[in-house]
Amino acid sequence: MTNIRQVYNWINGEYVPASNGETFDVTTPISQELIAEVSESTQEDADRAVAAAREAFDNGPWGKLTVKERSDKLRRMAEIIIERAEEIGTLDAMDVGKPIRNTVQGGEVDRSANNISFFADYAEMMHGEAFPMGKDYINYTTYDPVGVSVLITPWNIPFMLTTWKLGPALAAGNTVVIKPPEVTPLSVALLGEIAKEAGIPDGVVNIVHGKGGVVGNALTSHEAVDLVSFTGSTKTGTIIQQSAANTQKKVSVELGGKAADIIFSDADLKKAVPGAIRAAYTNTGQVCLAGSRLLVQEDILDAFLEAFVAEAKAFKVGDPNDVDTDMGPIVSEDQFQKVSSYIDWAKDNGLEILAGGKRPDNLPEEISEGYYLEPTIILAPDPNSKINQEEIFGPVVSVIPFQTEEEAIKIVNNSIYGLDGVIWTENLAKAHRVAHEIKAGTIWINDWFVRDLRVPFGGAKQSGNGREGGRFSMEFFTEAKNICIRIKD
């Protein structure tokens, strides 16, 4: 029997229940067991959190610290995240269903700590500019914090994605209100106490839990909020931009994707097959960057599929707490139903299921109620079909055969999304050529999901606007101000 955690809001340096005392239940996808009761916040809670962040920004000590003093506290925060890696990783394994080996051991928790320490270091390197106007005037530019920043993140990589926003927001001197994903709020709930332990003043980091349409909307439309940084679905991103427009907040949205993984006939299949497997099934395919459309050049289709299907079938699906597990469950019943509906659609439309398409047989009794699905491969030659156009966000990959480079580019760009793309070829000139033609924010050649925190990350088309990473994040979380001085007599 799992302990049921009580998860509270974090406002002005302390845990507080929702103002009306309401909670909502969180279950684990591993077994459907209840694991937490979480504060279900209202407009009143959003108001309290924003007021705390406002006061801390306008009158608190945070903005008066030197950059070095702020950065030192953030580096301490990163150290505490590493010290608590086991706890954070275990919570994400239980809450999201991530294999423990992807969270704790060298995985997402390390990256989360790095998200904080990287921006602490980065802030210390930032500088303004000067624009002299002959001998008459001089302009100089400063980069000031924007103010109260609302950070909203999705359920698939909750802790890592929240720290990806929190690092630059705090390093730039802002105060924040975090709205964690209601499906997987447990690890993010710890960020307030971690900040406090690192010496970050009360009111700088606040967290309110609850439904996006209620407390999320209360935050994005709030008059005292200056900025919204959102990662989530394209549908919600649209609503948020509309809601934030009433007060002209700064808004950045990182949204859905439907990446194509292109396997040219001159690819090295020893690299391409495991690479495409990783792109398709990491985090049970619940990754915005997932290579969910697999374009394979026709002359290697049989050889590629033989190896790809064999690797997918060899996958160990099961309890994420087991270090041998390759793939855990889908996050929730709703998501399981959504993903299954695409498989049903494929079957109803006569598409060939090359692997998976069902729950694994012989799940151990204790996890038999969990939302497990085998890695699924569907031969879906029509690029316009629903399965190739909509974001499925589960362990389902559709295979689209193609003949020429031009045809591949056309298929890849036939999407409302443009988050990323992956190219497998040993021909460097072709790799560059195709990379330039794909309309997406990130292209990987002969690998997938390799991240350098300095580079721009974000989506083209309906995958979002704005970029995160290095100077791109710092520009978003600061307000450039020009000061013009008359120096002539």
Residues annotated as part of the active site: 254
- Provide Rg for the chain, Cα atoms: 23
Binder of ligand NAD out of 240, 346, 377, 422 (CB under 6 A): 240
**Could you say whether residue 448 binds ligand NAD (CB under 6 A)?**
no
Which residue in this structure is represented by tokens 């705390």?
52
CB of 219 to ligand NAD, least distance (A): 7
Dihedral sign computed on CA atoms, order 289, 405, 398, 256 = positive
Pair of tokens at residue 306: 């033989």
CA 11 – CA 71 distance, rounded (Å): 22
CA 377 – CA 354 distance, rounded (Å): 5
CB of 25 to ligand NAD, least distance (A): 15
Pair of tokens at residue 171: 């390093």
Are 35 and 47 in contact by the 8 Å Cβ rule? The answer is: no
Binding pattern to ligand NAD, positions 192-231, x when CB under 6 A? --------------------xx--xx--x----------x
Exposure string over 153-192, b if 16+ CB within 10 A, otherwise e: bbbbbbbbbbbbbbbbbbbbbbbbbbbbbbbbbbbbbbbb
For ligand NAD, which is the closer residue by CB, 128 or 213?
213
For ligand NAD, which is the closer residue by CB, 164 or 304?
164
Pair of tokens at residue 259: 């990446």
The interface region with ligand NAD, picked from 61-69, 248-256, 371-379, 425-433 by CB under 6 A, is 248-256
For ligand NAD, which is the closer residue by CB, 115 or 236?
236
CA 65 – CA 307 distance, rounded (Å): 57
For ligand NAD, which is the closer residue by CB, 342 or 393?
393
Element counts in the chain: helices (H) and strands (E): 16, 23
CA 131 – CA 319 distance, rounded (Å): 59
Q: Which of residues 136-155 bind ligand NAD (CB under 6 A)?
A: 152-155
How many residues touch ligand NAD (CB under 6 A)? 30
Are 47 and 225 in contact by the 8 Å Cβ rule? The answer is: no
Q: How does strand 129-133 pair with strand 34-39?
A: unpaired
Binding pattern to ligand NAD, positions 378-407, x when CB under 6 A? -------------x-x--------------
**Could you say whether residue 236 binds ligand NAD (CB under 6 A)?**
yes
CA 378 – CA 397 distance, rounded (Å): 6
Binder of ligand NAD out of 19, 32, 233, 241 (CB under 6 A): 233
Pair of tokens at residue 199: 């010496």
CB of 347 to ligand NAD, least distance (A): 24
What residue number has its CB nearest to ligand NAD? 212
CA 345 – CA 333 distance, rounded (Å): 18
In angstroms, the first-to-last Cα distance of the chain is 80
For ligand NAD, which is the closer residue by CB, 208 or 431?
208
CB of 360 to ligand NAD, least distance (A): 24
CB of 239 to ligand NAD, least distance (A): 5
Q: How does strand 137-145 pair with strand 227-231?
A: unpaired
Are 466 and 254 in contact by the 8 Å Cβ rule? The answer is: yes
Pair of tokens at residue 318: 């099961």
CB of 266 to ligand NAD, least distance (A): 31
CA 188 – CA 299 distance, rounded (Å): 47
CB of 82 to ligand NAD, least distance (A): 23
For ligand NAD, which is the closer residue by CB, 62 or 448?
448
Q: Which of residues 339-358 bind ligand NAD (CB under 6 A)?
A: none
β-bridge mates for residue 196, sequence order: none
For ligand NAD, which is the closer residue by CB, 231 or 388?
231
Q: Which of residues 454-473 bind ligand NAD (CB under 6 A)?
A: 459, 464
Binder of ligand NAD out of 257, 275, 356, 401 (CB under 6 A): 257
CB of 108 to ligand NAD, least distance (A): 12
**Could you say whether residue 181 binds ligand NAD (CB under 6 A)?**
yes
CA 444 – CA 460 distance, rounded (Å): 15
The interface region with ligand NAD, picked from 60-68, 179-187, 363-371, 479-487 by CB under 6 A, is 179-187
Are 145 and 56 in contact by the 8 Å Cβ rule? The answer is: no
**Could you say whether residue 292 binds ligand NAD (CB under 6 A)?**
no
The interface region with ligand NAD, picked from 26-34, 236-244, 299-307, 480-488 by CB under 6 A, is 236-244
Are 373 and 340 in contact by the 8 Å Cβ rule? The answer is: yes
CB of 216 to ligand NAD, least distance (A): 2
Can you give the binding site for ligand NAD, defined by CB under 6 A? 152-156, 161, 179, 181-182, 212-213, 216-217, 220, 231-233, 236, 239-240, 254-257, 288, 391, 393, 419, 459, 464
